[in-house]
Chains A and B, each alone.
Chain A
Amino acid sequence: EPEVTQTPSHQVTQMGQEVILRCVPISNHLYFYWYRQILGQKVEFLVSFYNNEISEKSEIFDDQFSVERPDGSNFTLKIRSTKLEDSAMYFCASSLWGLAGLYEQYFGPGTRLTVT
Chain B
Amino acid sequence: AQTVTQSQPEMSVQEAETVTLSCTYDTSESDYYLFWYKQPPSRQMILVIRQEAYKQQNATENRFSVNFQKAAKSFSLKISDSQLGDAAMYFCAYRSPFQGAQKLVFGQGTRLTINP
Contacts and interface: CB of A to CB of B under 8 A. Distances in A.
Contacts, number: 64
A43 interface: yes
A32 to B, nearest CB: 10
A100 B98 CA distance: 6
A9 B105 CA distance: 24
Contacts of A44: 106
Contacts of A56: 100-103
Interface residues of B, number: 27
Contacts of B99: 99-100
Interface string B90-102: 0100011111111
A101 B97 contact: yes
Contact of A42 (B97, B98, B108): B108
Interface in A3-58: 3, 31, 33, 35, 41-45, 48, 50, 55-56, 58
A45 B91 contact: no
Interface stretch (B19-27, B37-45, B63-71, B72-80): B37-45
Contacts of A31: 102
A44 B95 CA distance: 13
A109 B103 contact: no
Given A55-B102, A100-B99, 18 more contacts: A33-B103, A35-B104, A41-B108, A42-B108, A42-B109, A43-B104, A44-B106, A48-B103, A50-B102, A58-B103, A89-B43, A100-B95, A101-B50, A101-B52, A101-B96, A104-B50, A107-B46, A109-B43
Interface of A: 3, 31, 33, 35, 41-45, 48, 50, 55-56, 58, 89, 91, 95, 99-101, 104-105, 107-110
10 contacts: A44-B106, A56-B101, A100-B33, A100-B95, A101-B50, A104-B47, A105-B102, A108-B44, A109-B44, A110-B43
